[in-house]
Amino acid sequence: MVNRLLREKLERETQAKTRRHFIKSCAQGMGGLALSSIFMGCDPLQKPKAIAQNSFTERDLNPLATLAPHYGPKVKSVIYLHMAGAPSQLEMFDYKPQLQKYHGQDCPQSLLEGKKFAFIKGTPKLMGPQAEFKQEGESGNWVSNFLPHFKKVVDEVAFLKAVHTDQFNHGPAQLFMHTGSPRLGRPSIGAWATYGLGSENQNLPGFVVLTSGGNTPDAGKSVWGSGFLPSVYQGVQCRSKGDPVLYIEDPDGISRNLKKSTIDAINKINKEEYAKYADPEILARINQYEMAYRMQIAVPEVMNINNEPEHIKQMYGVEPGKESFANNCLLARKLVEDGVRFVQLFDWGWDTHGNVREGSIDLGLRNKCREIDRPMTALIMDLKQRGLLEDTLIVWGGEFGRTPMQENRGNKEMAYKGRDHHGDAFTMWMAGGGIKKGASQGATDDIGFSGIEGRVSVHDVHATILHLLGFNHEEFTFDFQGRPFRLTDVEGEIIKEILA
């Protein structure tokens, strides 16, 4: 055994120092090296610098160490509720009585010319709202009867009624909504937040992801990925049933002390490797080993909803032992209460085309609203009664909206009532610290097809979130491939109309 270990050590050292092995192991040989230099994957003029092991900064050894933002933040944490599949704003928040008058009539050609839709063909018919609306609270904002609980907190939120996006397919639109780009490779907004601010609880990840609805978003885990940022800033997906994190328990016969000694030995080697190669991913690996060790104690406690009072469970409508949006909302409150910086909830099943009963506007959407109505209302109320709402930003929305026309996939009448994807205008809302209570920004035309005032983009939404976290979105950058990148790319304006 000793001889084998010595041979392996000698082989690894030889591989690290031998030029022939280095060239051979390149993905495309010398061609790969040439191509990487053309695209500036790394600076060809920069020479590796040896780093003394005693020169590590706190940020080197702990990438999640707390940092100060550009200026005084309005909030410490963000809870982002994403309804994957795109909920219909016309049945939830954007009341259009005129659309009801035109129900069943052919859609005007002027609205269809030059437009791209995912499934609509030919001339679809307009479809009136499939829900009843009332003005609620002192603000008088419209809320449908699909959300009977939400009307209790309508005065706490600020609506954005004319959000728009240029993406009309789920995957690219979800990437755009969470990374600022419809293409793979950019960091998610949660990764940006933890990169810029670190985490207030060193025993938990700075960015936690919870999913419900029986599936993950169409764009996959890239919507909570770290992109070109060090991987330590990517979202950590936890589960609301079973073990919150896989392999959270030590194997039989492995004591806590033995685990710690093993991690210390591994990280000693990692520090030596970093001193040689200065690869930031090695630092991320060191931190992840340490974080995993600490999470074994902290995660089972914070992810346990059974120790919550019975009246809190009833307020959220939790279902212990199941994966549900209600469970995740309660967990989100517990996580931000324990100092987690960014909590992302993805709820799948909002794609209401009308091709199946579960995906219908009048039946399937009503059921989905019933699943989220009580929990998201309870989340706002619970944070407020604990004094946490003023330090927390809640964001709600999908990747785009739905058309005022009934979907006619293949230019044929659908089995159920449904609406196609629509990026010209949809509704989002925010609540919490720094948000003007009861505000409503923007408006759509008489049938909800396009925004006619107060239009805001996805980049504007991102700029506003970063502003509330204390960042100047134009100066918050990361150098990659020879230029500084930012979440808002080269666009984005703070939506001042909804700020307190």
H/E element, 371: helix 364-385
Tell me the residue ranges of DSSP E strands in 198-264. 207-212, 236-238
Taking the C-alpha atoms of residue 57 and residue 78, their distance in angstroms, rounded to an integer, is: 28
Report pLDDT for 48. Answer: 47
- Contact between 426 and 113 under an 8 Å Cβ cutoff? The reply is no
Taking the C-alpha atoms of residue 111 and residue 332, their distance in angstroms, rounded to an integer, is: 41
Report pLDDT for 192. Answer: 98
Q: Which residues of the chain have pLDDT under 50?
A: 36-50
Residue keyed to tokens 């219908």: 360
| Cα dihedral value 15, 16, 20, 23, nearest 10 | 120
- Contact between 398 and 419 under an 8 Å Cβ cutoff? The reply is no
Superfamily of domain 70-248+296-498: Alkaline Phosphatase, subunit A (3.40.720.10)
Report pLDDT for 492. Answer: 97
CA atoms within 13 A on the CB side of 115: 23
Query: CA-CA distances (angstroms) from residue 75 to 72, 140, 424, 434?
Result: 9, 26, 30, 7
CA atoms within 13 A on the CB side of 244: 24
Contacts of the segment 273-279: beta carbons below 8 A, 24+ positions apart: 274/51, 275/50, 275/51, 275/52, 275/53, 276/50, 277/48, 278/48, 278/49, 278/51
Nearest to 417 by CA among 97, 154, 104: 104
Report pLDDT for 274. Answer: 79
Q: What is the pTM of this model?
A: 0.85
Taking the C-alpha atoms of residue 375 and residue 318, their distance in angstroms, rounded to an integer, is: 8
Is 322 exposed, middle or buried, given 0-12, 13-18 or 19+ CB atoms closer than 10 A?
exposed
How many CB atoms lie under 10 A from the CB of residue 219?
A: 25
The 10s digit of each residue's pLDDT in 4-38 is 767 777 777 776 666 666 666 655 555 555 554 44
- Contact between 452 and 443 under an 8 Å Cβ cutoff? The reply is yes
- DSSP structure class, residue 498: G
Phi, psi of 231 (to 5 degrees): -65, -15
Report pLDDT for 245. Answer: 67
The 10s digit of each residue's pLDDT in 444-472 is 999 999 999 999 999 999 999 999 999 99
Contacts of 250 (CB under 8 A, 6+ apart): 256, 259, 296
